Amino acid sequence: MLPTPKKFTICAGTAEGASELNAFDNALLNAGIGNLNLLKVSSILPPGAEYAENLNIPPGTLTPTAYGSIVSEKPGELIAASVGIGFSENSFGVIMEYSGTCSAKEAEEQVIKMVEEAFKIRGLKLTRVMAKAVEHRVEKCGCAFAAVALWY
């Protein structure tokens, strides 16, 4: 059984690349988590998890991460990605991810709505929301990426 993460950070980045995978990889590097092996997880923040501005995780480590990303090869297109975390008083939190052809502001607004709905459906009281969003104007092949990385 895997241990329950006790820390989290929120990050985002954008980049261009020679291919879709290179653009994605470069956006991860820009976000500060490009040398980790991301394990995509669904969207629950463990109870009591504490925010850390930076997590000191060794390169190559398997890292549970909830993320949204978008890659585009349409020059001039505006793309964005956002993550939002909803916090409750004495329970777990909920993480939502969004990406699309929109501005960072629109992506953040969408992810906050998603957090609010997730709390309503669960019958939890939402006490605060933390969100982060980025946008990128595509030159040739661009990526926008936003994530919540969880750690022990």
Q: Does domain 7-151 have CATH number 3.40.50.300?
A: no
Per-residue pLDDT reduced to its tens digit, 1-24: 889 999 999 999 999 999 999 999
Active site residues: 37, 42-43, 97
pLDDT for residue 12 = 98
Per-residue pLDDT reduced to its tens digit, 32-48: 999 999 999 999 999 99
Nearest alpha carbon to residue 85 among 46, 40, 143, 33: 46
Strands of 37-40's sheet in order across: 37-40, 62-72, 142-151, 7-16, 50-51
pLDDT for residue 57 = 96
Q: What percent of the chain has pLDDT over 70?
A: 100
Q: Is the dihedral of CA 134, 41, 96, 141 positive or negative?
A: positive
Domain ranges of the chain: 7-151
Residues of the chain with pLDDT under 50: none
Task: Say what the pTM is.
Answer: 0.96
Distances (CA, A) of 44 to 5, 103, 112, 135: 11, 26, 15, 25
pLDDT for residue 90 = 86
Give, for 125, the enclosing helix (H) or strand (E): none
What lies within 8 Å, CB to CB, of 52 at 6+ separation is 7, 8, 9, 151
- CA torsion angle 110 117 13 21 (round to 10): -100
Q: Rounded distance, CA 146 to CA 70, Å?
A: 10
pLDDT for residue 19 = 98
Q: Rounded distance, CA 97 to CA 38, Å?
A: 15
